Amino acid sequence: MKLGIVSDVHCQDEHLRRTVESMIADGVDEILCAGDAQYEYRLSNEVTEIIREHQIRYIQGNHEWVLMGPNGERARSGEHVRQSNLDFIANTPDEIRTTVNGKTLLMTHASPWAPRGHYLYAGDPLFSRCDELDADYLIIGHTHVPMVERFGRTLVINPGSLVFSREPGAYGMLSYAILDTTTDEVTMMHPPKGLETAS
């Protein structure tokens, strides 16, 4: 089974649309979004509808937490906001635990350990606790830095961002990942040519 994985789309609907088209052409069976599809003070109907149309498994990230909280009321009540999309985001979970190809997958936007907004970069000592998760795969986002690393039985995958990278020396590099759950091979990909880094 091939999984396409994106994160940190931040309302860039054209980036998401063309990346989804590319992943489908590459034969992915399912697409996951590890949060921050929205901006904290802006809701994108277009991004939400791409997620809904392609039945992308999606979780809330820290930007959705703000958007759906007290400080996001103005953004939620904009005239352009479609109620069905608002309802969809409101019912989106903070994490997903599921089974794919007989293996356990946990997807959370930031750290699965408290505090949940913690940025997990490679080398973080918290990764030594991966065995506590009882998961074969841990999908995270939040950092805008791509990462693939194994800790015990757990393969940790951060696809980076479809908006901008925080990776030193690669700030303009947009990325997503494709996971083959049969072989555990992860391929880091870059969106189709013509998509520019968002300013």
49 Cβ contact list (under 8 Å, min separation 6): 85
pLDDT value, residue 166 = 79
Taking only the tens place, the pLDDT of each residue in 4-30 is: 999 999 999 999 999 999 999 999 999
User: Taking all residues of the chain, what is their mean pLDDT, rounded to a whole number?
Assistant: 93
Instruction: Identify the three-state secondary structure at position 50.
Output: helix
Is residue 89 very low, low, confident or very high in pLDDT (cuts 50, 70, 90)? very high
Greater confidence (165 vs 90) lies with 90
Task: Give the pLDDT confidence score for residue 198 in this predicted structure.
Answer: 47
Q: 185 has which bridge partners?
A: 180
pTM to 2 decimal places = 0.93
Encode pLDDT of 32-55 as tens digits: 999 999 999 999 999 999 999 999
**Per-residue pLDDT averaged across 175-185, rounded?**
97
With a cut of 50, say whether residue 186 has pLDDT above it: yes
Q: What is the pLDDT of residues 107-132, one digit of tens each?
A: 999 999 999 999 999 999 999 999 99
pLDDT at 191 over 90: no
Q: Is the pLDDT of residue 189 over 70?
A: yes
Domains in the chain, ordered, with CATH?
Answer: 2-189 (3.60.21.10)
Residues whose CB falls within 8 Å of the CB of residue 62, separated by 6 or more in sequence, listed in order: 35, 36, 40, 109, 110, 117, 142
